Amino acid sequence: MTLGLSISNVSKVWNPDGPEPMPAVQNLTLDVALGEFVVLLGPSGCGKSSLLYIVAGLEDATGGSVTFDGLPITKPSPERSLIFQEASLFPWLSVRDNVGFGLTIKGMAPEKRTKRIDALLRQVGLGGVGDRRPHELSGGMRQRAALARALAMDPKVLLMDEPFAALDIQTRARMQDHLLDIWQSSGASVLLVTHSIEEALALADRIIVFTARPGQIKDEIKIDMPRPRDRYAPEMIELAKRCEALLDEEVTKAFKQQELS
Ligand SMILES: Nc1ncnc2c1ncn2[C@@H]1O[C@H](COP(=O)(O)OP(=O)(O)O)[C@@H](O)[C@H]1O
Ligand SMILES: [Mg+2]
C-alpha cells in the first residue's frame, strides 16, 4: 500500500458523450508523499484544476485511479481540503464561526471548539478579528481564514488551486511564508496549483510542469534548497530559467490551441 496520495494513469475528459468531448488530463501519474509539498505548474487551461477536483473527490476521473493511503478516493473528505482562489467563506457568519463550522458539524463541545478556534486564528495571524464578517477583512485575511477553516479538520492533504492569485504581490509573498510555516507545523502534504514560477520556486519540494491540454507531466524539478529561499541565489536563478523555458513552450502551444478552437 502506498501511503499518501497516489494518482495513477489518470485521464479526464469533460462531456465525454457530448458533441465536443474535452480531454483535460491524460494518463497522469504522480505520487505525493506524506508531508511533501508538490506544486503543479502549467499554462492556463491545461487541466490543473480538473486534476485537483478529481483528487478532492468532487469529480470522477474518466480513466485511471486515485488513492489516499491506499484507499480509492470516491468523494470529498475533510482529510483532503480544497482551497480556491476566492476564499469561499460564508458571508453571514463571523470569522470564528466560519473557522469552527466543520467542528460544529462534527459535534465538538462548545468549550473545546472555542479553544480550538482561538488556537487556529492565532496560528494564521487572525487572533484579533474573529468577530468580524468576511467582507470586513482584506483578501489576504480572507484566505488565511479559509486556511484556518481547512486546518480545523486536521487535513492530511491541502489541495490549493491558485490560492493567492487574487492577492497583491506583497500580500502574496507574506501568504507564501505563512503557508510554509503552517505546512511545516501541520505535517500535511500540499498539492498546490499555480501559474507563477516564482511561487512554485518559493514553495515546492517538487515542481511538476504540465504540458498544454490535455495535461500530462512534461517535467519534474526537485528543489533541495532550504526555506526561506533567496530567489536571487544562482541555483534559484538557474531553476527559474529552466521552468521558464519549459513553461514557455507549453504556453505557446496553449495559445495555438485557443486560436484554433
Ligand atoms: N466543468 C467543466 N465542464 C467542461 N469543461 C471543463 C470543465 N472544467 C474545465 N473544463 C475544460 O477543461 C480544460 C482544462 O481546464 P482546467 O482544469 O480548469 O485548466 P487549468 O486549471 O489548468 O486552467 C479547459 O479546456 C476547460 O475549459
Ligand atoms: Mg485552474
Cα 42 to ligand 2 centroid, rounded to whole Å? 10
What residue's CA is closest to ligand 1, atom 18?
A: 49
Contact 64, 7 (CB under 8 A): yes
Residue 1 is predicted with a pLDDT of 67
What residue's CA is closest to ligand 1, atom 23?
A: 45
Cα 109 to ligand 2 centroid, rounded to whole Å? 38
Walk me through the domains of the chain, giving residue ranges and CATH numbers: 5-79+155-260 (3.40.50.300)
Cα 229 to ligand 2 centroid, rounded to whole Å? 26
Ligand 1 nearest atom to the CA of residue 51, by list position: 17
Contact 86, 160 (CB under 8 A): no
Query: Could you give the dihedral angle defined by the CA atoms of residues 186, 68, 145 and 84, in that order, rounded to the nearest 10 degrees?
Result: 140
Q: Which of 26, 46, 50, 162 to mutate to test the pocket of ligand 1 (most atoms within 8 A of CB)?
A: 50
- Dist. CA 30–CA 260, nearest whole Å: 30
Pocket of ligand 1 (CB under 6 A): 14-15, 22, 24, 42, 44-50, 213
Cα 44 to ligand 2 centroid, rounded to whole Å? 7
Contact 217, 28 (CB under 8 A): yes
Task: For the chain, 261 residues long, give each residue's pLDDT as a single digit of tens.
Answer: 678 999 999 999 999 999 999 999 999 999 999 999 999 999 989 999 999 999 999 999 999 999 999 999 999 998 999 998 877 899 999 999 999 999 999 999 999 999 999 999 998 889 999 999 999 999 999 999 999 999 999 999 999 999 999 888 888 998 899 899 999 998 999 999 998 999 999 999 999 999 999 999 999 999 999 999 999 999 999 999 999 999 999 999 999 988 877
Q: Look up residue 73 and give its DSSP letter.
A: P
Cα distances (Å, whole numbers) of residue 10 to 25, 179, 191: 7, 28, 16
- Dist. CA 29–CA 20, nearest whole Å: 25
Q: Which of 13, 40, 41, 49 to mutate to test the pocket of ligand 1 (most atoms within 8 A of CB)?
A: 49
Residue 171 is predicted with a pLDDT of 87
What residue's CA is closest to ligand 1, atom 8?
A: 50
Cα 51 to ligand 2 centroid, rounded to whole Å? 9
Contact 11, 27 (CB under 8 A): yes
Cα distances (Å, whole numbers) of residue 178 to 10, 100, 105, 160: 32, 20, 27, 14
